[in-house]
Structure 1
């Protein structure tokens, strides 16, 4: 059953995620290799899976990831492969909970990294802060996604995760990134050699230079990640004419979350506080829609 799942179209698309799924699927297969698939039709199987996951209780992330992979395999076996009639491993209890909504890249954070990082890393950080695109979308951004508008440029692409069309204004900072891309290169972001990036490499490259800039977890009291640029990007998009509703739709957030993220950025960026809060208040009060 596990082997069939690993070769099915229901495996995740991202290379890094596929590797992780394969690792945990094979661990699952090894642990239950002497049992028939029908075991998971029995209510008692839930406790057996939890007992197996307990081996990673010291690492809540691994414990929870094991459950995620098992549930996905069993859902596939029940719904698509018809290998089992039912299973009892839906909504397995999770140990790891995190709320990163208060973590954003401030202007000083970005400046600290850009002051020492090589050009390819600076381009990643600036593009992430200006667009809010996830790593999987940043690495496939090309010239074909850049369109000319009456007042400038915009980015339009279908996102990997939600399969929705994202339409974003090209800010002056992002325009500079696009303009500096060599004429013979389609990809906007690459590694130092001009080769395509992976989701792992784009995040790891920024992490390495973030630490060299002194923005470590020990120094800040929290870890800054590539994903945390989305709060910064939400502020940029508000400044360039998108409504709260448009920002929320692009980010996959509620309107309240989008407003909270922008307000948080204003608090950590005192040089922009008054302007941002005025625009946020206006957006919340009027809901005025500005065309890109």
Structure 2
């Protein structure tokens, strides 16, 4: 093999000895020696290249070990942020992650990442998590974020192991039985201002979560062969969602001002945040219960309107696959949500279940693979 085919970066040194000049080859300047001219190996031969590769691998491993031994937790967190596994997350998820990541690196700012190879570090992480003991949901989310970070450090070779796995979740909730009744939605609409009504309609008719309502804008409006629809990617999951323009949704679009970009703006006219949307619904529940004869259950949340919207689509003749696309659900989940709603509203149980069974048969929901849409 010619010298032109040799690896780049080899550091060559000549030394005069009593027996003559001896040539030494190193993987790089300051790196390990892998060949000298006194050896029986011919320069450029397959054996020469094999010796280079072995020495280069050993040098790289030594460099990684040294780097890991010297790396502090904030440096490791920055490396995680540069990884494809973090960069591929959507903007909303990154923002959620950062709340815990920046807090974690501040807590362990002076500690080497190697600390988490020790079993005792588990107690230190749990002690850090206790700042969210008041919120089981936030506590579990911190578990998810830090476990993924440490898993990535282990898989990339920065640490050899960690003990922050098999952590039992503390947040348990089943809201499947909670679904807005038609009269409850009517009650909050009765006490709502026009701006507040737009929020309730987008959630109850479009099945939108608080995180997506404030994102709706003119760019999401699409013409269809017969009418219009709203087409957007859900902010949290990135799943495409097509919302049919029901008469109420049509009214949202048609009553926009000419210079209005957001379909459902905040009450002040700016961008509606998820937290504010949820608070507005809570306020409406309180006002409806104070002024009306129909009691709205205070435990209801905006997200619970999604089952109502899905069932309305079924009653309008949509198939399960169409409902799944509109809601950003799997077909199986759409089916379960509608069944829960049917149990909640006795007067429409027979009608809903009959249509649901026909929709299941048409979609073959229990026969094939159920994919998220």
What's the TM-score once normalised by structure 1's chain length? Answer: 0.81
Which of the numbers 136, 143, 147 marks the counterpart of 1:67?
143
CA RMSD of aligned residues (A): 3.1
Unaligned runs of 5+ in 1: none
CA contact (8 A) 2:202 2:249 kept: yes
2:121 paired with 1:49: no
**Selected match of 2:181 from 94, 106, 116:** 106
Q: Which residue is equivalent to 1:186?
A: 261
- Give 1:272 shift: 4.0
Superposition deviation, residue 58 in structure 1: 4.9
Match of 2:78 in 1: 4
Following superposition, the deviation at residue 200 of structure 1 comes to: 1.8
Contact kept in structure 2, 1:107 and 1:269, CA below 8 Å: no
After the TM superposition, which of the residue ranges 97-106 and 3-12 deviates more from structure 2?
Answer: 3-12
Aligned match of 2:301: 225
Equivalent pair of 1:169/1:237 in contact (CA under 8 Å) = no
In the TM superposition, what are the counterparts of 1:127-146 in structure 2 within 5 Å?
Answer: 127-146=202-221
> Cα 1:14–1:253, aligned 2, differ >3 Å: closer, same or farther?
closer
CA distance in structure 1 between the aligned counterparts of 2:180 and 2:220, rounded to whole angstroms: 25
Relative to structure 1, the CA distance from residue 4 to residue 92 in structure 2 (aligned partners, 3 Å threshold; closer, same or farther) is same
* 1:26-82: CA deviation from partner (whole Å, max 9, x where unpaired): 4433443442111123344334323443454454234323323322443454567x7
Q: Determine the structure 2 residue equivalent to 1:150.
A: 225
How many aligned residue pairs are there?
282
* CA separation of 1:21 and 1:286: change in aligned 2, threshold 3 A: closer
Residue 270 of structure 1 and its aligned partner are, at CA, apart by: 4.6
| Contact preservation (8 Å) 1:5, 1:76 | no
Residue 14 of structure 1 is matched in structure 2 by: 92
> Scaled by the length of structure 2, what TM-score is found?
0.65
Retained in 2: the 8 A contact 1:147–1:155? yes
For structure 1, which segment, 33-42 or 244-253, has the greater mean C-alpha deviation from structure 2 after superposition?
244-253
- Whether the 8 Å contact between 2:150 and 2:162 is mirrored in structure 1 is yes
Partner deviation per Cα, 1:187-223 (whole Å, 9 max, x = no partner): 11001232121222222222222222229xxx77762
Q: What's the CA shift for 1:116? A: 0.9
The structure, 1 or 2, with the larger RCO (C-alpha pairs under 8 Å, 6+ apart) is: 1
Give CA deviations for 1:107-149 in whole Å, capped at 9, x if unaligned. 1111111111222221111111112222232211122222222
C-alpha spacing 1:5/1:122, structure 2 compared with 1 (3 Å): farther
